[in-house]
């Protein structure tokens, strides 16, 4: 998935535009203009009816570029081009294909490309516009495991897009090489070897990025010393080198490369190095800096949220979890984590609302973790029936603490009074010097508790032997 995401980002300018003669002005080319120029084009050359369709298309593109896929798809489906604007139809379909790809709906994206843009299509003849869609088509084929179709289509796409490339289509050609199941590690190393044409900064970055994105950085590691000295003046190049050294386990060298770089990826690497040293607060700071520079950094979000929990930064954790889009985290998981942080931050009313939504989403299949949270909220409210219901349900799912709590509710009738104790009185429970997970996992010899016989065994044995009824408490 990481590889595919990076490829789509790399080729995004090509995927969002197209450019051949159509009956009206060359909209594919014109759509590369800035917003003001597009507005002027609409006013000067298009009818009002056409203007509305193009305005919607412009807004859909804005949402697509900014990652708001739901709004982009909604607008694209709402556009109804007038009969004299058939040139808009392939653009709409192209954007819909890109939107579905970004939503990881690769099969649907490929279906749009194959149906609407096939050879002999009503709107898009292959010879005329094949170069504008073939890259996305190739990526979709890879995404759903159609590698043979990819390798078959690749030569045609390389030929069609050759004028777009300034590096002999290094990326696509190398991708075909590393995807070939018959190629050996030696051949991979040879095909990815550093060559003299990578003497400029852009080519060097391309070479490094490709190795990283395809998880083949180990094959270029021995060639890193061939990079010319002037390339090290680029922060981007040093950032990539730092990442390669980090992935190869050379943390000290990686840290030296990125020490004076404050770009998002560099901060993520610094955070990872700090995590390995168990410097959690330092790591938390680095990941937060990465998010400050790039609020959508999924790598940073995946690290900062658990760290916020570890460091007891409940408000920060809530703020972070709220920034994750549904594309990267399902609503059920997001609501569960939000409810947990809200409870820890003493925002019980808001937590109850999240639990209510989870109960609606899951219906009769509520996970044990949600039952735990719901049981705790019921415990605070002194709602005995809900507490017993949720703790019993979690117990049935082999959640041990819930089993213990459920049993305690029968012998400790005022259990809820514990919730009203001042948290300071329970500070010892949160003492980091107390029981740890490592201690819990450590095997220790069993030490049975001494036990007294409740009923004297001689009386029981005597009763069995004599087969007479024994009446306890009676005297002869």
Residues 11-54: tens digit of each pLDDT: 443 344 433 333 333 433 333 444 444 444 444 444 334 447 77
The per-residue pLDDT for 286 is 92
Tokens 């990539």 — which residue? 240
User: How far is Cα 137 from Cα 114, in angstroms, rounded to an integer?
Assistant: 8
Question: How many Å is the Cα radius of gyration of the chain?
Answer: 32
Please calculate the CA angle 159-162-164 and round it to the nearest 5 degrees: 145
CA distance 246 to 299: 15
Residue 27: its pLDDT value, please?
36
> What DSSP designation does 178 have?
H
150-159 long-range contacts, CB within 8 A, separation 24+: 150/176, 150/179, 151/176, 151/179, 151/180, 156/130, 157/130, 157/131
Residue 12's pLDDT is what? Answer: 40
Whether residue 82 contacts residue 53, with contact meaning beta carbons closer than 8 Å, is answered with yes
pLDDT of 283 reads 92
> 304-309 contacts: CB < 8 A, separation 24 or more?
305/337, 307/280, 307/283, 308/284, 308/341, 309/341
Helix (H, G, I), strand (E, B) or coil at 84: helix
Supply the pLDDT for residue 455.
63
- pLDDT at residue 39, as a whole number: 46
Residue (of 276, 229, 271) closest to 249 by Cα position? 276
Token pair, residue 169, equals 């289509």
375 near 408, Cβ under 8 Å? no
What are the helix (H) ranges across 311-417? 314-322, 331-344, 348-362, 368-380, 384-396, 400-411
| DSSP assignment letter at 428 | G
The span from the CA of 318 to the CA of 308, in Å, is 9
- What is the predicted pLDDT for the residue at 174? 76
Cβ partners under 8 Å of residue 77, min gap 6: 96
Which among 86, 141, 151 has a CA at the least distance from the CA of 116?
86
Which secondary-structure segment (H or E) carries 22?
none
Spell out the per-residue pLDDT of the chain, length 476, in tens: 444 444 444 444 334 443 333 333 343 333 344 444 444 444 444 433 444 777 788 888 888 887 778 888 888 887 877 666 667 888 888 899 999 988 878 899 999 988 877 654 444 445 457 888 888 888 888 888 888 888 888 888 888 887 777 666 777 777 777 776 676 766 666 666 666 556 677 778 888 888 887 787 888 888 888 888 888 888 998 999 999 999 998 899 999 999 988 888 899 999 999 999 999 999 999 999 988 887 767 888 889 999 998 999 999 988 888 887 766 677 788 888 899 999 889 899 999 999 888 888 887 788 888 888 888 888 888 788 888 888 888 888 888 888 888 888 777 766 666 655 555 544 444 454 555 666 666 777 777 777 666 666 666 566 666 655 545 455 44
If you search the block for the tokens 């919730």, which residue do you land on? 419
Nearest Cα residue to 188 out of 223, 142, 139, 231: 223
Q: What is the pLDDT of residue 119?
A: 56
d(CA 174, CA 209): 12
Indicate the DSSP class of residue 80. -
pLDDT at 214: 76
> Which residues have CB under 8 Å from 325's CB, separation 6+?
67, 296
Give me the pLDDT at residue 417, please: 65
Which pLDDT score, from 0 to 100, does residue 97 have?
92
Tokens representing 293?
């520079």
């Amino acid at each position: 998935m990481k590889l595919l995401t990076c490829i789509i980002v790399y080729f995004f300018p090509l995927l969002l535009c197209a450019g051949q003669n159509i009956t009206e002005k060359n909209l594919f080319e014109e759509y590369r203009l800035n917003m003001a120029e597009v507005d002027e084009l609409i006013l000067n050359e298009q009818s009002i009816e056409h203007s509305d369709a193009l305005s919607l298309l412009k807004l859909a593109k804005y949402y697509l570029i900014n990652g708001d896929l739901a709004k982009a798809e909604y607008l694209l489906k709402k556009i109804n081009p007038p009969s004299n604007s058939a040139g808009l139809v392939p653009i709409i379909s192209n954007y819909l294909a890109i939107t579905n790809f970004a939503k990881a709906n690769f099969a649907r994206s490929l279906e749009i490309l194959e149906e609407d843009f096939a050879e002999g299509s009503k709107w898009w003849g292959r010879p005329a516009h094949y170069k504008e869609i073939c890259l996305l088509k190739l990526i979709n084929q890879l995404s759903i495991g159609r590698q043979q179709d990819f390798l078959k289509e690749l030569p045609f796409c390389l030929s069609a897009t050759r004028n777009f490339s300034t590096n002999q289509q290094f990326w696509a050609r190398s991708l075909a090489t590393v995807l070939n199941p018959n190629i050996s590690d030696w051949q991979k190393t040879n095909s990815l070897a550093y060559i003299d044409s990578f003497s400029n900064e852009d080519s060097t970055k391309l070479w490094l990025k490709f190795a990283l994105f395809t998880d083949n950085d180990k094959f270029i590691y021995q060639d890193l010393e061939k990079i010319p000295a002037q390339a090290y003046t680029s922060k981007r190049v040093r950032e990539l080198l730092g990442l390669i050294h980090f992935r190869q386990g050379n943390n000290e060298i990686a840290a030296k490369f990125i020490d004076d770089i404050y770009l998002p990826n560099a901060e993520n690497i610094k955070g990872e190095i700090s995590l390995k040293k168990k410097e959690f607060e330092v790591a938390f700071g680095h990941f937060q800096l990465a998010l400050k520079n790039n609020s959508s950094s999924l790598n940073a979000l995946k690290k900062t949220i658990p760290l916020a929990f570890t460091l007891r930064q409940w408000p920060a954790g809530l703020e972070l979890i709220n920034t994750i889009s549904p594309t990267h985290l399902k609503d059920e998981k997001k609501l569960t984590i939000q409810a947990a942080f809200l409870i820890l931050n003493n925002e019980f009313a808001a937590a109850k609302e999240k639990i209510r939504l989870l109960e609606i989403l899951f219906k009769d299949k509520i996970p044990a973790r949600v039952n735990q949270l719901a049981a705790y909220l019921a415990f605070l409210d002194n709602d005995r029936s809900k507490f017993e219901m949720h703790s019993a349900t979690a117990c049935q799912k082999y959640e041990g603490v819930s089993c213990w709590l459920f049993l305690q509710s029968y012998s400790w009738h005022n259990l809820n009074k514990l919730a009203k104790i001042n948290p300071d009185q329970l500070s010892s429970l949160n003492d980091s010097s107390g029981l740890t997970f490592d201690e819990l996992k450590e095997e220790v010899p069993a030490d049975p508790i001494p036990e007294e016989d409740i009923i004297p065994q001689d009386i029981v044995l005597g009763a069995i032997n004599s087969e007479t009824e024994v009446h306890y408490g009676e005297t002869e």
